[in-house]
Structure 1
Amino acid sequence: MEVVKVDKKGRLLIPKSVRRKVGIKEGGFAKIEVNEKSIIIRSMDSIADKYFGAFEIAKWPEDLDEFIVKVIKNWWTQKAI
């Protein structure tokens, strides 16, 4: 068990040893689940790895995960109309 401090903006610093153990990387994504008085943080696989080969891309973006998130948000927005 680790004890961490919450800053003024409500952010927690997850120790490097914990991030390495569960596979959370800088710029990556994590799922947050709230149960009564508990917060559960789960690591997520890279979106780029999950959808590898699903898209044909003429020019590769610098951050593939960020690009895929934007494409999916755009797709969801258009689908809801």
Structure 2
Amino acid sequence: MEIVEVDGFGRIYLPAEIRKRIGARRFRVKIVDNGILLEPVDDVDKYYGSYGPPRYKSLEDIEEAIRDVSQVDLR
């Protein structure tokens, strides 16, 4: 068991040994009876490109695709 502190900005310092064992950088925080529980959350960036190249390269491309589809639906 480790004792950690909260700094002046409300951040909790997790020692490197704990971070390496868990292997996560994002956590879900749950309030439990006697304190808080940190649950690792999958990092979605690790899935980027796993299913082929991205279809859209920018927000403008996405908005253009939405306009195109909405025009088809209106005809």
Indicate the TM-score class for this superposition, using the shorter chain for normalisation.
0.5 to 0.7
1:50 and 1:58 map into 2 onto residues whose CA distance is 16
| Structure 1 stretches of 4+ moved >2 Å | 48-52
Larger radius of gyration: 2
| Structure-2 residue corresponding to 1:9 | 9
**Counterpart Cα distance in 2 of 1:7 and 1:49:** 30
Q: How many residues align?
A: 57
Q: In 1, distance between residues paired with 2:17 and 2:10?
A: 21
RMSD: 2.6
Structure 1 residue 3, shift from structure 2 partner: 0.3
- TM-score, structure 1 length as denominator? 0.54
Unpaired runs of at least 5, structure 1: 60-81
Unmatched runs of 5 consecutive residues or more in structure 2? 58-75
Give the SS at the match of 1:20.
Answer: helix
